[in-house]
A and B are shown apart, each in its own frame.
Chain A
Amino acid sequence: MPRYIVKRLLYMIPLLFFVIMAVFLIMSLLPGDPASNILPATTLPEVKQAYNESVGFTGSLPSRFFNYLKGLFTGKVISYQTQKNVFDELAVRFPVTLKLGLISFSLAVVIGVALGILSAVRQYSFIDFAVTTLSVLFASIPSFFVAMLLLLYFAVYRGLLPSFGLQDGVRSYILPVATLTISNIPVLSRMTRSAMLEALNQDYIRTARAKGCSSRRVIWKHALKNASLPIITLIVTGFASVLGGAVICETIFTLPGVGTYMLKGVLTKDVPVVMTTGLLLAFIFMAAMVILDILYALIDPKIRARYQ
C-alpha cells in the first residue's frame, strides 16, 4: 500500500510537467507579443521592446518556457498588465475562492447525500418523487441564472443582503454560497440515489435483511458502504471543479477571487496571470485525483489487492 501511494505521487511529477507544458503551448498560440497586445498601437518599437524585456518576454519559445518554469519554482511570475508578481495577487485572492468553495460544497455534500440516501431508501414515495423532480429541475437551471434570481429577490426586492463585493463580511458570502450550494446539490443527490439503489438491489442486502439485521444497519453499514465509491468520486472531483467553476459565481457577485482574476487575465491577454492561475487550479485538481485513487485503495479491498 505505501508503495502504491509513492508510485501514484511520483506519477504526478511528469504529469504536472506535461500539464505546464501543454498550458504554456496553448497560451503561446496567442498571436502577438505583450507590448503590442497591451500598449497602444502608436507606441514606438523601442518602447515596445523595452516593455517586452521588462515582463520577461524575450528569446525563443523553449527559453521562455524554461524562464517561466524557473519563475514558477522561485515564486516570481510577472503580470504583463500590472508588472506585479502574480503570486502576491493569488495569495490574496485564493483564500476567497477557497472559502467560497469549501463552505458551499460542504453544505451541498451534506444536503445532497442525505437527500439521495433518503430518496433511495424510500423509493417511489412522495419524498423520492420530490427529490428526483427537484434534482432534475435544478440540474437544468444554470448557476448564473440561480444567482440572478437570488439577487433579485434577496438583494433588490427585499434589500436583505448585499449584492456584490465583500464589504459586509460574512453577509457578503451568503448569496454566493447559496448559489453554489443550490447548483451542486442536484448532481450529488442524483448520484447518491442511483448508487444507493444499485447497492440496495444486491443479493447481500436481501441476505442481511433475511438474517434479521435492523434496517438501519442494512442501510448504513451494508448499502452505504458499498455505494460509497461513486459518491466519494463525485465529492472529490466535484470539489476540485467547484474551485474552477467558481468563476461564474465570482463574476456575478464581483468577488475578488481566483476566477475573476483569471477571467480578467483572459480578457486582457495577460498570459502569465492566465497560466499561473490555471496551473494552480489544475494542480489542486490533480492532487484531488491522487487522493481519490488512494481513497479507492483504502475503501475497496478489490482495488487494494491489485497493488499488493
Chain B
Amino acid sequence: MRRRNGKDIYDNAAQGRQVHLFREVVKRYFHNKAAVLGLIIFTVVLFVIIFANVLVPHSLVTATSVRQKLQGPSALHPFGTDDLGRDIFARVIYGTRVTVGIGVGSTLLALIVGAILASICALNKQADFVIMRIIDIGNSIPYLLLAMMLLAILGGSVGNMILTLTIISIPGFTTRIRAVLFGVVEQDYVKAARLSGTPTAKLVLRHILPNAIDPIIVDATMSISSMLLSAAGLSFIGIGVSPPSPEWGAMLNYAQKTFRTAPHTALFPGIAIALTALAINLIGDGLRDALDPKAIK
C-alpha cells in the first residue's frame, strides 16, 4: 500500500541495490579461501580474548614456581614454563587481550582522528595547508624513532603504548584518507549537497565518508596488523609494555635469555604474534579484493 508513493518505490529500489551489493561483497569474500582462513583464525583469537578466564585462571599468568622452571610442553603446562616457572600457555592466552587490544585500540583511535583531520582538509583549503605542513613534519621523522622518543617520555604501559602508536600513525592515516576524500569531494552529488546548504557535519557523515569508506576499511584492517607488530617490536626492545605484563613482544624480550636452551619460551609467543598478524593480513587482502569496485558486476 505504501508503494503508492513514488518516493518509497525509489527508496526501496535503492535499498534493494545496496543489499544486493552487500551480498555480492560477502559472496566474493567467502569465495576467497585465504580470506576465509583468516576469518577462522581471527574468530579463534576473538574467542580466546572473550573466554580467556574460562580457559585458564588468571592467577596462573603471574604465579611463579621455582621447582617447575623451564619445563617443556606437557599436559599440565601445554606450552611449558619460563625460567620463573610461570605457565606460558596462560601468559600467551591472556597476552592476546593485551597485544590485540593495543593493535585494535590504537588503530581505531588513529582512524577517528585521521578521518576528522582529513575531512577538515577536504572541506577547507586554508586548514588543509596548515594541517598538511604539520603532517609533513610528522612524516619526516621515522615512525619507530618517534615511538621510542614518545615512550621514553611517557613510560611503558598499555595505555601509553596505545597513545604512542596512535600518535605515530595519525600522519599516515590522515594523508591516505585525505587522498580518498579529495576524490569524493569533487563528485557532483557532494557539490549539490554543499550548495543546497547541508550542515557540515551531515555533509561529512552522510555524503562524504560513506562513499569513501571501502578503501578506509581495508587500510584500517591492514593497519591493525602493523600496529600489532610495532607494539610487539617496541616491547621486544624493552621500551613498550613492561615485562610482568603478558604482552607477546615483552614475553619474547624476556625469553631472550632462555630461548637458546629452552626454545619453547620464545616459540609460542612468537607463533601467537605471527598467526594473529597473518589472520588480519588475510582478512585485509580478502576485503580489498571483495570491495574492489573494478571487480563488482
Binding site for B on A (CB under 8 A): 15-16, 18-19, 22-23, 26-27, 29-30, 133, 136-137, 139-145, 148-149, 151-152, 156, 163, 240-241, 243-245, 247-248, 251-252, 262-263, 266-267, 269, 274, 277-278, 281-282, 285-286, 289
Contacts and interface: CB of A to CB of B under 8 A. Distances in A.
B296 interface: no
B297 interface: no
23 contacts: A19-B141, A22-B137, A22-B141, A26-B150, A27-B153, A30-B152, A30-B153, A140-B225, A140-B278, A142-B229, A143-B233, A144-B249, A144-B252, A145-B270, A148-B266, A245-B144, A247-B144, A248-B236, A251-B236, A262-B148, A263-B148, A278-B146, A285-B141
Given A23-B149, A248-B237, A140 B260 contact: no
Contact of A18 (B137, B143, B148, B151): B137
Contact of A140 (B145, B238, B255, B277): B277
Contact of B152 (A241, A269, A286): A269
Q: Which 4 residue pairs are nearest across A and B when measured between Cβ atoms?
A: A244-B142, A140-B278, A140-B277, A145-B270
Determine which residue in B141, B152, B266, B270 has the highest number of CB atoms from chain A within 10 A of its CB, and name it.
Answer: B152
Given A144-B233, A266-B148, A282 B141 contact: yes
B110 interface: no
Contacts of A142: 229, 232-233, 236, 249, 270, 273-274, 277
A19 to B, nearest CB: 5
Contact of A136 (B139, B229, B255, B281): B281
A148 B252 contact: yes
A98 to B, nearest CB: 15
Interface in B206-237: 225, 229, 232-233, 236-237
A18 B239 CA distance: 26
Q: Which residue, of A30, A133, A136, A277, has the highest number of chain B Cβ atoms within 10 A?
A: A136
B198 interface: no
A26 B225 CA distance: 27
B256 interface: yes
Interface of B: 34, 136-146, 148-153, 225, 229, 232-233, 236-239, 249, 252, 255-256, 259-260, 263, 266, 270, 273-275, 277-278, 281-282, 285
Nearest to A241: B142
A263 B142 CA distance: 14
Contacts of B239: 263, 266-267
A256 to B, nearest CB: 15
Contact of A278 (B137, B145, B225, B260): B145
A19 B149 contact: no
A112 B270 CA distance: 24
A133 B146 CA distance: 32
A18 B238 CA distance: 29
A27 B149 CA distance: 7
Given A136-B282, A140-B278, A145-B273, A152 B137 contact: no
A15 B132 CA distance: 12
B41 to A, nearest CB: 11
B260 to A, nearest CB: 5
Nearest to A26: B149
Nearest to A18: B137
Contacts of B252: 144-145, 148
A266 B152 CA distance: 5
A247 B237 contact: yes
Contacts of A252: 256
Contact of A137 (B144, B152, B278): B278
